[in-house]
Amino acid sequence: MTEHMLSPASGRVIRIHGRTISIFMHLHNVHITAAPLDGMVKKIIPEKGTFKPAFLRSSDFNTRNTIELGTKYGDIKIVQIAGFFTRKIKCEVKEGQEVAKAERIGKICFGSRVDVSIPEGFAILVKKGDKVKCRKTAIAIASPSAATIP
């Protein structure tokens, strides 16, 4: 069976840079963050920063929370990025916790952005401008030999 990586957030793809997809969540989008694949939370890294509008490149320096997830395809990062109106990021997982694909892992209050890294062996299925839905839209697909851990 082919593995699909699900979108960790609802919104619009605003950038694909290398193997990272950036999804902007408008004020009207649901701001839940979900696990794109099954895995184990390896590390959580909160960082203070600015509060620029999340659709601008300058938001790369905004307050953020990075969740490193170990998967059978390798490690990925889900980065919750605060936006102009956002002042609170809620991380609902702990280091060492197992999570299932599509399981809720956090929430960002109001307009914001989520960046997700795509593991090697996965082909990206979305393009800039595409609308995606959290837990529903497949954003990448694994090749049959993509798994790195037995």
Could you list the active site residues? Answer: 112
Question: Three-class SS string for the chain?
Answer: CCCEEECCCCEEEEEEECCEEEEEECCCCCCEEECCCCEEEEEEEEECCECCCCCCHHHHHECEEEEEEEECCEEEEEEEEECCCCCCEEECCCCCCEECCCCEEEEECCCEEEEEECCCCEEECCCCCCEECCCCCEEEEECCCCCCCC
